[in-house]
Chains A and B, each alone.
Chain A
Amino acid sequence: GEDVEQSLFLSVREGDSSVINCTYTDSSSTYLYWYKQEPGAGLQLLTYIFSNMDMKQDQRLTVLLNKKDKHLSLRIADTQTGDSAIYFCAEMRTGTASKLTFGTGTRLQVTL
């Protein structure tokens, strides 16, 4: 389909790991991204991965890319209450002049 799909909601306890999943649509997408949206704010780029990579690690964040299945995941280690937000994956489809297609968003709730 046309939509980039994510599960709507994820609840984790503080200190646990969070894994947010995304299924994208265009196997030729060049870059895939994870953005974070805190309440009442705009989106902030957390990390991105180039399509020829399988994994990227950046401090507490690990991105895994499975191109065969068009599956992207974001793992947040040692999740903190400040990580509570909505997380969007996005793809840059080829030939689209930098247009980003965003996923449906996953609301992460971190409990004590």
Chain B
Amino acid sequence: DTAVSQTPKYLVTQMGNDKSIKCEQNLGHDTMYWYKQDSKKFLKIMFSYNNKELIINETVPNRFSPKSPDKAHLNLHINSLELGDSAVYFCASSHSRTSSYNEQFFGPGTRLTVL
């Protein structure tokens, strides 16, 4: 199926651990994003990559490090996990940062729970 996919769907881990979330899109898009949705459903962008180049980097702790091995993949690595990192993380992609209305296609989300 053509889509934005994320793994894992659920991630439960202890404080202090390091974990990664993977994202892949097979839509041929060249821009990918990571968003964080908190328990109140507030959705905020974290990072964006265009053709493997970082173009948006919001005020995110440097424990979060995105990596884009190619334009179809954008992974998120989190070091030293904290309780406040518990959230749903969404990956998204779009055709180009210069496209007109920039429809973003979202993955199903990864629910991270830090104990």
Interface residues of A (CB under 8 A from B): 31, 33, 37, 40-45, 48, 50, 86, 88, 92, 96-102, 104-105, 107
**Contact indicator B48/A99 (Cβ below 8 Å):** yes
Q: How many A-B residue pairs have CB under 8 A?
A: 60
B15 at the interface (CB under 8 A from A): no
Closest chain A residue to B3, Cβ basis:
A42
**Contact indicator B94/A98 (Cβ below 8 Å):** yes
Q: How far is the CA of A62 from the CA of B28 in the complex (A)?
A: 31
Q: DSSP majority for the A interface?
A: strand
> CB < 8 Å: which of B42, B56, B101, B106 contacts A31?
B101
Interface residues of B (CB under 8 A from A): 4, 31, 40-45, 48, 50, 55-56, 90, 92, 94, 97, 99-109
Known: A88-B43, A97-B55. 19 other contacts (CB 8 A): A31-B101, A37-B41, A42-B90, A43-B43, A44-B106, A45-B104, A92-B102, A97-B48, A97-B50, A97-B56, A98-B31, A98-B48, A98-B94, A99-B45, A100-B102, A102-B43, A102-B44, A104-B41, A104-B42
